[in-house]
């Protein structure tokens, strides 16, 4: 059996088209959805990420303002700038590109963003609100993963999902979203003793560690859905994920590729969250 590919590029294109329609409807009401992206420093990967986010926004008619600040910007200055964006009614979403320079406390910076504009979904208030069924924003990467499962019509009720990775950005929110769909969830990490004993039982495996080949063919239940969140480089310098794609695709029922899987979906869900924020406020 060869797994079917969950095409993140194609699904993201569909979501961007839907976002363009929602943006046009907002503009007809006099509301211009506006995303403010704040970049501090010259991290090469961050430069690429924000370039893609601005391009995606422009394709959907959403306004994206990219602010570039020097690496020696003080934390107090950054917090003051975020507070100013919080107070700007024309800005619906605020994204501070991570990682930040070492002299800045990322947690403090993220918590300064207004929860109503936290379109990256990292604020603790967003997680708390979503846990009790109130409006909030899911972090974009796990949100994109859930959309991929939805796209193949996968019913999570009663299924066993294993999430490899315990980060607050992907692992824990992913587990929360799966639990909300009535799945049984086990959260592991790369050093979990006998990790394969857990993954072989799983109907869904989400690999989000940032380590090549953390999931191999012998660790996967036949027919399982495998979502690869990892972003690494192989020995030839090419992008690859956490999953041994060539091996696992011969066992799994569905699998996401790297590149072209979760990455485009993460950016697409950022647009969706920003438009959600604009629709909630109705101002702009």
Active site residues: 53, 97, 120
For 240, list phi and psi in degrees, rounded to 5.
-150, 170
Q: Which CA distances in Å does 280 have to 125, 137, 255?
A: 16, 12, 35
d(CA 129, CA 135): 6
SS3 212: coil
d(CA 172, CA 128): 13
Provide the H-helix boundaries in the chain. Answer: 8-28, 44-59, 75-87, 106-112, 124-131, 140-151, 171-180, 195-199, 245-248, 262-281
Number of other CB atoms surrounding residue 165 within 10 Å: 24
């Amino acid at each position: 059996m060869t797994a079917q590919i969950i095409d993140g590029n194609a699904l993201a294109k569909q979501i961007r088209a839907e976002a363009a329609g929602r943006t046009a409807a907002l503009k007809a009401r006099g509301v211009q959805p506006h995303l403010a992206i704040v970049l501090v420093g010259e991290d090469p990967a961050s430069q690429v990420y924000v370039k893609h986010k601005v391009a995606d926004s422009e394709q959907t008619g959403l306004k994206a303002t990219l602010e570039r600040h020097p690496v020696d910007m003080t934390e107090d200055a950054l917090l003051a700038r975020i507070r100013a964006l919080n107070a700007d009614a024309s800005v619906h979403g605020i994204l501070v590109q991570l990682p930040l320079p070492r002299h800045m406390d990322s947690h403090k910076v993220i918590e300064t963003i207004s929860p109503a504009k936290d379109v990256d979904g990292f604020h603790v208030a967003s997680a708390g609100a979503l846990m009790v069924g109130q409006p909030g924003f899911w972090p974009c990467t796990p949100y994109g993963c859930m959309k991929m499962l939805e796209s193949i019509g996968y019913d999570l009720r009663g299924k066993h999902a294993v999430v490899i990775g315990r980060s607050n950005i992907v692992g824990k929110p992913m587990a929360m979203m799966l639990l909300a769909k009535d799945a049984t969830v086990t959260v592991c990490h790369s050093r979990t003793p006998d990790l394969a004993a857990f993954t072989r039982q799983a109907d869904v495996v989400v690999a989000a560690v940032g380590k090549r080949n953390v999931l191999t063919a012998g660790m996967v239940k036949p027919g399982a859905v495998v979502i690869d969140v990892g972003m690494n480089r192989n020995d030839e310098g090419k992008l690859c994920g956490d999953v041994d794609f060539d091996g696992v695709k011969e066992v799994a029922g569905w699998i996401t590729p790297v590149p072209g899987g979760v990455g485009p979906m993460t950016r697409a869900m950022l647009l969706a969250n920003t438009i959600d924020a604009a629709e909630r406020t109705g101002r702009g």
